[in-house]
Amino acid sequence: MEHNEIAVGLDIGTTKIVAMIGRKNEYGKMEIIGIGKSKSLGVHRGVVNNITQTIQSIQQAIQEAEADSGLKIEEVVVGIAGQHIRSLQHSDYITRPNPDEVIDSDDIYTLCNQVHKLVMLPGEEIIHVLPQEFKVDGQAEIKEPIGMYGGRLEANFHVVVGQVSSIRNIGRCVKSAGLELSAVTLEPLASANAVLSQEEKEAGVALIDIGGGTTDLAIFKDGIIRHTAVIPFGGNVITEDIKEGCSIIEKQAELLKIKFGSAWPGENKDNEIVSIPGLRGREPKEITLKNLSKIIHARVVEIIEQVYLEIKNYGHGEQKKKLIAGMVITGGGAQLKHLKQLAEYITGMDTRIGYPNEHLAGDSDTETTSPLYATAVGLVLNSLEQKNAKFQNQAGTVEQEVMVEEGTHSFNTDEEDEPTSANSKTTKKSVFDKWAEKFKDFLDNAE
């Protein structure tokens, strides 16, 4: 099996680190060949705070995935989240030197590259530049401008920004674990890819990924990403509260939450009690399930209200921006009982629990289709799609090759582009590859 057929996603979360190996089968669906997970120790709220522990956890997850699949993992795609992520809307344009030629991917690349030069706050770096819709000579709402004639090409962009130091730290951990970092993807985008159907993205939908340390949000409408946000708390704050409220240790609190937890307090009778063994010869503790669900309820309401605030900020109230498909909740936190009912009650939006089986092969086992793995599945999917695009680009037409030989532009962010020497590669790189290379250089310089 060729190596470019498989892709590896590494989801560095607050509670667990998952390494997942996947490949496309002949029907274009994704098969999971191997999976490994380890407890994540050095990550807090989506941000690395202990490099050594994170490296060990990554290695453990990778080794498990390698043992599971019998393959050696060399490069991975990593998801990034954390409270430092923010997104903004930006519009930009280019005037094409030769309007008599049709618009090609180079023009779009030039336009995207221009956005990459936006001046950010100190210590911030652009992670994604996602064109939303284009305008050609003032004609609006064009989804795909390639092949059209026009002198002025402009676009609205969704720009995702994160902290340089956090991105570098993740890069450092991956490198030190003996792996190549092939790309960085925003986690809510990855999860959305794994969980949402195209119809939902068209109708308008909010994807909420409740992780351990963060809750990620991605909003789609008319098939285009419109808003992304990372809210800096998730399932762990619920566990914390149970621990404090019932005076028990974290491990017990986590188990209580998983086994008996419910987001809806009216559900439990007053006489339902769980007995928890005391520490080292102390008396066991008795906890009523009603109290347990009251604690959980208070926290979940807080998370959902924060999410709803972001949805309102996007403009859900306006008729044109209404999210017809409502909300889809995924991530480990989506397994809490009665969460769907509570979310519908608070927001008044249709809600479903999202399983990452949208693009998985039919015979995937139930474990991998758990909401827990939404981000990991999405990362592998994104990586496979990029490899596919790269492969198609390499099979580029003769016409492109001729253009390239006339002198390509080097990928230089600071000065004006200078033509490279004649021995430049004859295959044209996709926008993404060019960006990925810039990103790798950036990480190497950071070492």
For the chain, give every domain's residue range.
197-355
Which pLDDT value is given to residue 443? 64
DSSP helix/strand/coil, 412:
coil
DSSP helix/strand/coil, 154:
strand
Distance of CA 438 to the CA centre of its chain: 20
What tokens appear for 323 in the block? 């999210």
What tokens appear for 161 in the block? 């920004």
pTM for this one? 0.84
The CATH superfamily assigned to 197-355 is: ATPase, nucleotide binding domain (3.30.420.40)
Strands (E), 252-379: 273-276, 285-288, 327-330, 351-353
Closest by CA to 174, choosing from 269, 43, 282, 355, is 43
Closest by CA to 272, choosing from 255, 259, 281, is 259
Radius of gyration of the chain (CA): 23
Q: What is the pLDDT along the chain (447 residues), one digit of tens a residue?
A: 454 589 999 999 999 999 999 999 888 889 999 999 999 999 998 899 999 999 999 999 999 999 999 999 999 999 988 889 999 999 999 999 988 999 999 999 999 999 999 988 899 999 999 999 999 999 998 999 999 999 999 999 999 999 999 999 999 999 999 999 998 999 999 999 999 999 999 999 999 999 999 999 999 999 999 999 999 989 999 999 999 999 999 999 999 999 999 999 876 677 889 998 888 888 999 999 999 999 999 999 999 999 999 999 998 888 889 999 999 999 999 999 999 999 999 999 999 999 998 888 877 777 888 999 999 999 999 999 888 877 777 765 433 333 333 333 333 333 333 333 334 333 444 555 665 666 667 666 655
* DSSP type of residue 159: E
Q: Are 42 and 57 in contact (CB under 8 A)?
A: yes
Which pLDDT value is given to residue 46? 87
Q: Are 40 and 54 in contact (CB under 8 A)?
A: yes
List of residues 6+ apart from 213 with CB closer than 8 A: 13, 14, 15, 43, 44, 45, 46, 232, 233, 234, 236
